[in-house]
A and B are shown apart, each in its own frame.
Chain A
């Protein structure tokens, strides 16, 4: 069964550094999402992406965040200058068409900002 994959599984960085989290969505999927989950808290929507554009973003997704689909397979989340409060699990998800009932989640990247 096709899966969403994410790399790295764990990223440790110093405050103020830039990080790029990578996702490879399921190959025929067209809509992509990033969610994050701070330890002990709920899963929160960050951004959705379709047709090389952001469809929707939450108030968490400020100017420090950006997303990109640099080629036909990868979907990336960049945090320009990390803060301590960016420490969280980041999950990528994808669906093949809008209205599809199942968002398939990747295994996540644990980001630790020191």
Chain B
């Protein structure tokens, strides 16, 4: 069974701090990795995609991938209360279905 694991949280950080979200996956053939943000009752919204080892930055967001350790992370700099949501890690393997983790709930308090 191919799994994606995340700490369910909640992760609470003060406004302006860095939030660090982590994810591990079990299928070594996975090639594409995604972070989605999901507000309560809404659909997943793509934040970042990453395919190669290393870091990828987009604005306040940085995704990090380590395929040897089967580990993906998302850093959110200068966290804002509007970043409060559940962050879903998703992995695409050798088929085109996304496998999601359970998500980490992030709370940014003023």
Instruction: List A residues at the B interface (Cβ < 8 Å).
Output: 31, 33, 35, 41-45, 48, 55-56, 58, 89, 91, 93, 95, 98-99, 101-108, 110
With contacts A33-B97, A98-B96, A101-B49 taken as known, whether A41 is within 8 angstroms of B102 at the C-beta atoms is yes
With contacts A33-B97, A43-B88 taken as known, whether A101 is within 8 angstroms of B51 at the C-beta atoms is yes
Within the complex, the shortest CB–CB distance from B91 to chain A, in Å, comes to 11
The answer to whether A108 and B49 have CB atoms under 8 Å apart is no
Instruction: List B residues at the A interface (Cβ < 8 Å).
Output: 32, 34, 41-46, 49, 51, 88, 90, 95-103
Within the complex, the shortest CB–CB distance from B37 to chain A, in Å, comes to 11
The answer to whether B32 and A108 have CB atoms under 8 Å apart is no
CA distance A55 to B99 in the complex (A): 16
Tell me which residues across on chain B come within 8 A of A44, comparing CB atoms. 100
- In the complex, besides A33-B96, A33-B98, A101-B32, 20 extra interface pairs with C-beta distance below 8 angstroms are A42-B102, A42-B103, A43-B88, A43-B98, A43-B100, A45-B97, A48-B97, A56-B95, A56-B96, A58-B97, A91-B43, A91-B44, A95-B96, A98-B96, A102-B49, A104-B46, A105-B43, A105-B45, A108-B42, A108-B43
